[in-house]
Structure 1
Amino acid sequence: MTGAVRREQAEFSMDYVNLPEPPVTTAAGGGDEGNHPAPGTKLLRLVGVSFGLLCLLQAAVNVSLRLTLCEFYTVFQQRYIQQGWVRFRSSVYYISDARNTWQQSRRYCLRQGADLVIINTKEEQDFTRQFHRFTWLGLYYESKTKKWIWVDRTPLNESFWGPGEPNGFEGKIENCVEIRFFEMDNSWNDIPCGDQNYWICEKEVAP
């Protein structure tokens, strides 16, 4: 009797030892993988945070540069305006109170970091006429190319010649241009570059 009990206990013990271990499951079901982030998750988070910080830094730099440029242009414009320059759109202009040849007038403008005025639009043409003076423009006739060009070497596309101009009056070599008929929309006149005239300097100060 005792031997039978012992055999039963031994069989029971062996059966218990040989039972397989139950799998470890999670609430999501699927082993213990849910306890660890997917491969690359930490790297993606780091990249995202770094990109966000770079965006913030770029925005701060842009604001700082904009404020600096605005301050620069304000000081720049005030300095020129205090010296008798006039602001019109994206340029400042200086209208002389003395007369000189075309070449000497241009040299004066260049010393100021400017050049003789270049007229690109009808609005700018109207602006330059309002001073009611015979003034040099930055337009001249280049004998080599036989074309009228501006001092920045751009060709003459839109012109405002007075009636019958340019004409080389009385056979003169008239290779420079002035505003003469300032009461008219078309006010330009060609005259010899060695004549004496007032002049207009132009300098761009903003886009």
Structure 2
Amino acid sequence: MKNKFLAIAAASTAALGTALLSAPAHAQITGSDVPVNLNVTVPEVLFLKTVKDINVNLSAADLASQFSGSPTGGFAFDNNSGTAGTAQTGVNVQTPFAGTATSQFNQTIPSVYVVWSNSPRTGGVNVTFNKGGSLTGTLNAVSPATGSVDYSIAATSNLTGLTPKGLVTPTAVGGVDLALDLTKAAVAGQYTGVITVTADAP
């Protein structure tokens, strides 16, 4: 009886061992790679940012630069000219500011705008001042409310055919070149008006 039990136990152990050896642990099945199309559509963006105000503060030195004679500089000054007396010419009444009536004050204003664009079109990006209008205009008096200042924008301030550089690097950072005519500005003070900046990608 004892031998029969041992034989059965031995047979069972042999069978179990065979089963353990033939069963793989953590079996995996790996298939082939399957391609899947991934499509991303990026919208076209044209973004223009400008300053809110352009402030041009002309100095006495700016006015003095148009003098037809001495002196120069300063906000107030005296000058001796002519000789008074019988048969004499007296004081010279010709204004030393005559140049302000015939000359314009050129002012370059940097960093007026920045534009970003990812335009795919071949025409590039254009930046235009007073688009559809005139490059010349008038600034009206604010305080005191009399007189005016005429201005003109240099055509070179307009940029065309700029190559888009995406939405991180600016396509352009630009300014405007102004010429100011003070002929009608008979009173010191502030004169104001509006210019426009337009960006387009034709």
TM-score class, shorter-chain normalisation, is under 0.3
Higher helix share: 1
TM-score by length of 2: 0.25
TM-score by length of 1: 0.24
